[in-house]
Amino acid sequence: MSTAQGARARARIEVTAAIKDEARRQLAAEGAAKLSLRAVARELGMVSSALYRYFPSRDDLLTALIIDAYDSLGEEAESAHAEVAAAGPRERWITVCVAARRWALAHPHEYALIYGSPVPGYTAPQETVPAASRVGVLLIGVVRDAYGGKGVARTPLPAEMKTEAQRMSAELAPDLPPEVIVALVASWAQLYGLIGFELFGQFNRVVEDREPFFRHAVGRLAHDVGLVYPEQAATAGGPPSP
Amino acid sequence: MSTAQGARARARIEVTAAIKDEARRQLAAEGAAKLSLRAVARELGMVSSALYRYFPSRDDLLTALIIDAYDSLGEEAESAHAEVAAAGPRERWITVCVAARRWALAHPHEYALIYGSPVPGYTAPQETVPAASRVGVLLIGVVRDAYGGKGVARTPLPAEMKTEAQRMSAELAPDLPPEVIVALVASWAQLYGLIGFELFGQFNRVVEDREPFFRHAVGRLAHDVGLVYPEQAATAGGPPSP
DNA sequence: CAAAAACGAGAGCGCTGCTCTTGCGCTGGA
DNA sequence: TCCAGCGCAAGAGCAGCGCTCTCGTTTTTG
């Protein structure tokens, strides 16, 4: 058996986790740029050079934090989705989006690490991909369920997009029509535009009451990908207002 | 007269500009995090402490670059818009969006500086606001022209958004209906979501042929704010495809 | 013309990421 | 069971960073 290798291996795992924890603490407190290997080592009572036995460079430590952040976000979105799994697709879509926003507001520096400008001169390595796509996979699933074979007709694509749309469809979800995939990917990017603008201060003095605004906006995104209201026509009846 | 103060003042202006130019060069080459005061001074043949006579800190230099970047983006968008000033609002909208994307792709690090995660621990000072709002003002203008008093009915707002929508409308464009302002602000944020995802590599292996995708997506944004096609119904006629 | 302000140069402080060497203790194979 | 070898912590050190302070010199100003 390869588990329980020995005290040595177990200690290594524990120290590695302790480093990541302390690093995450500093990341949350001060942001990625002020995250310092020396400070992490200092806080853990070890000398800075010892830390390089666990992470060969600062970038490698950041990469580990990035993967964890993607996973944390994905988990939040998935568990929020699980709680409304029985609801209609539109509500499930909005729930996932709201969960993503909630996570971002709770972990601004980690959000900045993964969806803001990548840390200077740094390009995300391949091993982040699976963790990074969890929210996307969730959104695809919601739309897939909504379309259950019916293939609701959507906004037709311009001619010069047809082949690319078919490639995207084949790559991401062959069972969904290309128009839907295109709308889905665009909505996916736009979701993070909404979150980023709020988080990075672009909405200051522009949008004040942000949660209803966000819900409304992602509701329109849901509509864009073809997720309609539970009761199709009951959308025009709002209470009167001056 | 206060102009032509003397050789001293003129020299100061020139040196300040030279510092900004060299800093911009390093920013474009290596990104904001690798921008070093000492390296800028070195390249200019001065000692690093002398540079502090012109910019009291690294953040102040970055702030100057941020304002310049906003202005550069705003100028690109405005001149692109000027060239299609006579066209329909939908085409003008798309033109402005395409110009913003083009600028972002040409100046990725400057884009990251203003729309990515703000440089660690850094909050944009108030003096960046006018430069930052140039693209937004442009988009508002396009929509305003399209609505020329007619007030096309749009998606009704949920009850809990009415007061906020009215506040936003009063603040940004009192002559436009609140529903339109809400859609406009959301589209504004979503536009930068599309650009950011492409620029920061989130579209890698997802969207390959990006320009048509972008045009299509911002076309839908135009639709969201109520800008319709020139010939209202001629949208469904695409060439056949397998 | 003299006082004052602006400026360039240099030294220095404390911090960073990272490397290299040294010595200790656990661990796996003979 | 022994012991060679590897993993590990520690320390010193290097080059770079932002920033401060001092000290002559030059320019502007009253």
A37 touches strand C (CB under 7 A): yes
The pLDDT of residue A7: 75
DSSP state of A202: T
Contacts 24+ apart (CB under 8 A), B175-183: B175/B144, B176/B140, B176/B143, B176/B144, B176/B147, B177/B147, B177/B151, B179/B154, B179/B155, B180/B143, B180/B147, B180/B154, B180/B225, B180/B226, B182/A213, B182/A216, B182/B157, B183/A220, B183/B154, B183/B155, B183/B224, B183/B225, B183/B226
B18 touches strand C (CB under 7 A): no
Which pLDDT band holds residue A18 (cuts at 50, 70, 90)? very high
CB contact under 8 A, B156 and A238: yes
The pLDDT of residue B155: 79
Query: Å between B52 CA and C9 C1'?
Result: 13
Alpha-carbon distance of B72 to B113, in angstroms, equals 13
**How many of the other CB atoms lie within 10 Å of CB of B38?**
11
Answer with the residue of higher pLDDT: A5 or B62. B62
- Determine whether B112 is exposed, middle or buried from the number of CB atoms within 10 Å of its CB (0-12, 13-18, 19+): buried
Answer with the residue of higher pLDDT: A134 or B237. A134
Q: Which nucleotide is nearest to B52 (CA to C1')?
A: D19
Phi, psi (deg, nearest 5) at residue B44 = -90, 0
DSSP state of A34: G
With contacts defined as CB-CB under 8 Å, which chain B residues touch A161?
Answer: 209, 212-213, 216
Checking if the pLDDT of A140 tops 60, the result is yes
Q: Which nucleotide is nearest to A35 (CA to C1')?
A: C16
**In a 3-state reduction of DSSP, which class is residue B106?**
helix
A-to-B residue pairs, Cβ atoms closer than 8 angstroms:
184
- Cα nearest neighbour of A159 on chain B: B238
A49 touches strand C (CB under 7 A): yes
pLDDT tens readout for residues B79-119: 999 999 999 999 999 999 999 999 999 999 999 999 998 75
Query: Å between B209 CA and D27 C1'?
Result: 59
The pLDDT of residue B153: 53
Nucleotides of chain D in contact with protein CB (under 7 A) are 7-13, 16-22, 27-29
Query: Angle at Cα B134 formed by Cα B128 and Cα B139, nearest 5°?
Result: 145
Checking if the pLDDT of A37 tops 50, the result is yes
- Cα nearest neighbour of B118 on chain A: A200
Measure CA to C1' and name the residue nearest D26: B8
Checking if the pLDDT of A97 tops 90, the result is yes
Which pLDDT band holds residue B142 (cuts at 50, 70, 90)? very high
**How many of the other CB atoms lie within 10 Å of CB of A147?**
20
Alpha-carbon distance of A122 to B60, in angstroms, equals 24
Contacts of B93 (CB under 8 A, 6+ apart): B139, B142, B143, B218, B221, B222, B225, B227
The pLDDT of residue A237: 33
User: How far, in Å, are A79, A154, B229, B235 from residue A179 at the CA level?
Assistant: 28, 6, 19, 14
A120 touches strand C (CB under 7 A): no
Which pLDDT band holds residue A149 (cuts at 50, 70, 90)? low
Alpha-carbon distance of A99 to A204, in angstroms, equals 22
Dihedral over Cα of B158, B160, B163, B165: its sign: negative
Residues A178 and A156 sit within 8 Å (Cβ to Cβ): no
Residues B116 and B173 sit within 8 Å (Cβ to Cβ): no
The pLDDT of residue A207: 96
With contacts defined as CB-CB under 8 Å, which chain A residues touch B205?
Answer: 171
Checking if the pLDDT of A109 tops 80, the result is yes
Domains within chain A, CATH numbers bracketed:
8-56 (1.10.10), 66-224 (1.10.357.10)
A-proximal residues of B, 85-114, CB under 8 Å = 112-113
Answer with the residue of higher pLDDT: A54 or B152. A54
**Helical pair A210-224 and A178-199, crossing angle rounded to 10 deg:** 170
pLDDT tens readout for residues A150-175: 655 577 899 999 999 999 999 999 99
The pLDDT of residue B124: 64
Task: Encode burial over A88-104: b for 16+ CB neighbours within 10 A, e otherwise.
Answer: bbbbbbbbbbbbbbbbb
Checking if the pLDDT of B4 tops 90, the result is no
A-proximal residues of B, 120-159, CB under 8 Å = 120-121, 123-124, 155-159
Which pLDDT band holds residue A126 (cuts at 50, 70, 90)? confident
Tell me the mean pLDDT in the region B190-212: 95
Alpha-carbon distance of B72 to B138, in angstroms, equals 14
Tell me the mean pLDDT in the region B168-184: 95
